Structure 1
Amino acid sequence: MLKLIRAAMVAGTLMTAPYIALAQDIDGAIEHPMIERYPGQVIAWQHIENYQPFKVPVGPVTGYRYIDDVIETEGRVTRTFYKYEGTDRTFSEVYSNYLDALEAEDFEILGKGMSADRRGAGVGSRSWSEVYFIQNPISKGGEANTMTAGTATAGGAGTIVAKKERAGGTAYVTIHVEQHAEDYIGALIDIVEVEAAETGLVVVDAEAMGSDMEDYGRVVLDGIVFDFDKATLKPESKAALDAIAEFLDANPDKTFYVVGHTDSKGTFAYNRKLSSDRALAVADALKQDYDIASDRLEPHGVGPLSPVFSNAGDAGREKNRRVELVER
């Protein structure tokens, strides 16, 4: 896949550090195709959400743990933490390379800031980063927590917030770079891919399903589409079914509930039956078309009993109409 950003090293930084041959990415980590790492970095932590809300602050801190200028978005979120171990680079070199690469690829820079002491209220300052991580907490423990530990503030840090309009939709990128220790530079890259979620075309994939299942024991099966007020699967559901079958094949020892949900419009009895029929339709499609063993999928419908958003508006009701895979 095309690399949209190449974090090419600036002049005078082409030396090879001896540790690189020994350093390895953590198991299962996959570099996002949009951004290529700074040479010598390794992936020390990664978390992927197929769909979640995300806040992208682009202005300075305007109050206690508060920023006025924030873009509230949602979509597929990929968070990857890279580390660079060695004393032959500085955080400012890594920061400048990423900034140059973003600008070279015509990203719109929404905010940026870099300093050795991280004072002030602007993008990249200590107070700004504190707000960012409160709004978008690192939900899965690991080495990325060094970004919020506060042990490297004297070493300096920088943040870049950027936006790209692509054929596949809008993407927001936030890059945090920190001199965590004299021989340790950390970089957290957050990528939010928006358009698919905004248009309702987001499709679950096996990689994100595995991440959600590991963290929450369930995953929303985005991309499953039914005829209006019916339990008949539409042809455009095939891409999602393909991904679900791929995930099930990769986890042959696990069994799941297929759980249907509705909004609160209509009677409870009607919604309970509709949600049950839709769960059954998904389970049957996986059994019949993908040879998934019958005893691995148990369909149930709970109607409007477990909303994820308020049913007061159309947007909330749309999110509540869903099918989930829940680990048994």
Structure 2
Amino acid sequence: MRSMLLVFALLLPAAFAWADATVPTKDVDGARDPAFLKRYEGSFIVNYEQKAFDQLVIPLSTLKAVPDKTDRMNNRLMAPDKKLVAEGRYTRLLYVAPEGRSPLEVIRNYVEEIEGAGGKALYSCKDDGCGGDLHGNDHGGGTQGLLEKLYPQERVKAPDFSNGNCASTMDVAEQRFVAFKLPTPDGDASVAVLAYTVQDDLYCKALNDRTVAMVLVIEAKAREQKMVTVTAAEMAKSLSGTGRIALYGIYFDTNKTDIKPESSQALEQIAALLKGDPALKVFIVGHTDNVGSQAANMDLSKRRANAVVAALTSTYGAKAAQMEAAGVGMLSPLASNDDETGRAKNRRVELVKK
């Protein structure tokens, strides 16, 4: 894709050409370091994203090819055998280090800083030992690499050939990666640091041979509860009209089946629905996003559905005979799983009328 853009750019009149990358002299507007993690001295932030709540999948082992699977750019899909799935306040920063600094020097400084603050390294790798290709995150027809697993192309919003874009799309010459758990005043944070050297001979060449440090942080922060509780009457109306209703008021921790206390209002309304219509019978159906394997998500969704039935029966007085648990994992999405907004919509419990 990037090669096509380059050819197209060469055909444009000079007045319409994209602005080339430049050596950064200040941070991009609005960017700031995490309160608990310093930057490498002399570095500037060229790319920044923060979300109040999101998910980050951090590899904890070498990336391996997933048989017969490709991504949206027709690259061979890669995945680790071990991973950390973290949720909370999401921050991504791309720093350009001063000239002449290697990925090894940059990553060693981060390791010392984080371990000095009580952090613990969970996994580290370098170069091809991380698995996948050494590429930026905008190539197609090859093999995914660690950079694009951590920062997928669809999340790149910086203008073409800007510093923020070039810092992740340029060719990668070498890389060093470390994943950590870091204690903070608000709880443990998950931190991933990928330091890599970038190379280019066209619009991004101002950054040629510089080291980029990509720092990804998930801070322990509960998701704000923004969904309005669906009433028993609304559930009955939807079941009568469409035979199903999706509910987002039942909460679980990542990869767990324990129902969180803030789910009580939704469960009370389901129980009220069933008690109000003793002849009604429903499937309690668990749904997940596509993070993780199909088998794991099928199992998790069924166990969560079982947990809902058990809670409704034991705590809220609903009759077990009116309910049957089922789990369909990732097989029935309501939205694309390409971003967290879609994945959040796909993680749900549904009532389906028998």
Query: Offset of 1:166 from its aligned partner?
Result: 3.3
Q: Distance in 1 between matches of 2:27 and 2:48?
A: 10
Q: Does 1:138 align with 2:155?
A: yes
Q: Which residue of 2 aligns with 1:59?
A: 61
Q: Which residue of 1 aligns with 2:234?
A: 268
Query: Offset of 1:103 from its aligned partner?
Result: 2.1
The match for 2:49 among 35, 47, 50 is 47
Q: Distance in 2 between matches of 1:319 and 1:50?
A: 24
Query: Offset of 1:44 from its aligned partner?
Result: 0.9
After superposition, the Cα gap between the structure-2 partners of 1:168 and 1:311, relative to the gap in structure 1 and judged at 3 Å, is closer
Query: Contact conserved, 2:94 with 2:213, CA < 8 A, in 1?
Result: yes
Measured on the aligned residues, the alpha-carbon RMSD in Å equals 4.1
Q: Secondary structure at the match of 2:129?
A: coil
Q: Which residue of 1 aligns with 2:169?
A: 149
Q: Which residue of 1 aligns with 2:40?
A: 38
After superposition, the Cα gap between the structure-2 partners of 1:310 and 1:105, relative to the gap in structure 1 and judged at 3 Å, is closer
Query: Contact conserved, 1:83 with 1:187, CA < 8 A, in 2?
Result: yes
Q: Distance in 1 between matches of 2:36 and 2:133?
A: 22
Provide Cα deviations, 1:212-268, integer angstroms capped at 9, x if missing partner.
xxxxxxxxxx378xxxxxxxxxxxxxxxxxxxxxxxxxxxxxxxxxxxx43445121
Residue type matched to 1:149 in 2? T
Q: Does 1:173 align with 2:182?
A: no
Q: Distance in 2 between matches of 1:103 and 1:136?
A: 31
Q: Does 1:159 align with 2:168?
A: no
Note the 1:137-286 alignment, pairs <5 A.
138-141=155-158, 143-146=163-166, 148-151=168-171, 153-154=172-173, 156-181=174-199, 182-194=208-220, 196-197=221-222, 222=224, 261-264=227-230, 266-268=232-234
Structure 2 unaligned segments of length 5 or more: list them. Answer: 1-21, 67-77, 136-143, 200-207, 239-243, 267-354
Q: What TM-score comes out, normalization by structure 1 length?
A: 0.51
Q: Distance in 2 between matches of 1:320 and 1:55?
A: 31
Query: Contact conserved, 2:120 with 2:182, CA < 8 A, in 1?
Result: yes
Q: Which residue of 1 aligns with 2:105?
A: 93
After superposition, the Cα gap between the structure-2 partners of 1:173 and 1:111, relative to the gap in structure 1 and judged at 3 Å, is same
After superposition, the Cα gap between the structure-2 partners of 1:319 and 1:70, relative to the gap in structure 1 and judged at 3 Å, is farther
Query: Contact conserved, 2:53 with 2:89, CA < 8 A, in 1?
Result: yes
Query: Contact conserved, 2:101 with 2:210, CA < 8 A, in 1?
Result: no
Query: Contact conserved, 2:48 with 2:92, CA < 8 A, in 1?
Result: yes
Q: Secondary structure at the match of 1:36?
A: coil
Q: Distance in 2 between matches of 1:271 and 1:169?
A: 42
Provide Cα deviations, 1:22-58, integer angstroms capped at 9, x if missing partner.
8111122122111111111011111110011221221
Q: Secondary structure at the match of 1:93?
A: helix
Q: Does 1:120 align with 2:108?
A: no
After superposition, the Cα gap between the structure-2 partners of 1:146 and 1:178, relative to the gap in structure 1 and judged at 3 Å, is farther
Query: Offset of 1:167 from its aligned partner?
Result: 3.7
Q: Distance in 1 between matches of 2:52 and 2:86?
A: 14
Query: Offset of 1:124 from its aligned partner?
Result: 10
Provide Cα deviations, 1:134-189, integer angstroms capped at 9, x if missing partner.
679635335454454251x22x1111100023341110111111111344221111
After superposition, the Cα gap between the structure-2 partners of 1:320 and 1:113, relative to the gap in structure 1 and judged at 3 Å, is farther
Q: Distance in 2 between matches of 1:320 and 1:63?
A: 43
Query: Contact conserved, 2:59 with 2:83, CA < 8 A, in 1?
Result: yes
Query: Offset of 1:131 from its aligned partner?
Result: 6.1
Q: What TM-score comes out, normalization by structure 2 length?
A: 0.48
Query: Contact conserved, 2:118 with 2:183, CA < 8 A, in 1?
Result: no
Q: Distance in 1 between matches of 2:194 and 2:42?
A: 17
Query: Contact conserved, 1:42 with 1:82, CA < 8 A, in 2?
Result: yes
Q: Does 1:84 align with 2:97?
A: yes
User: How many pairs were matched up?
Assistant: 205
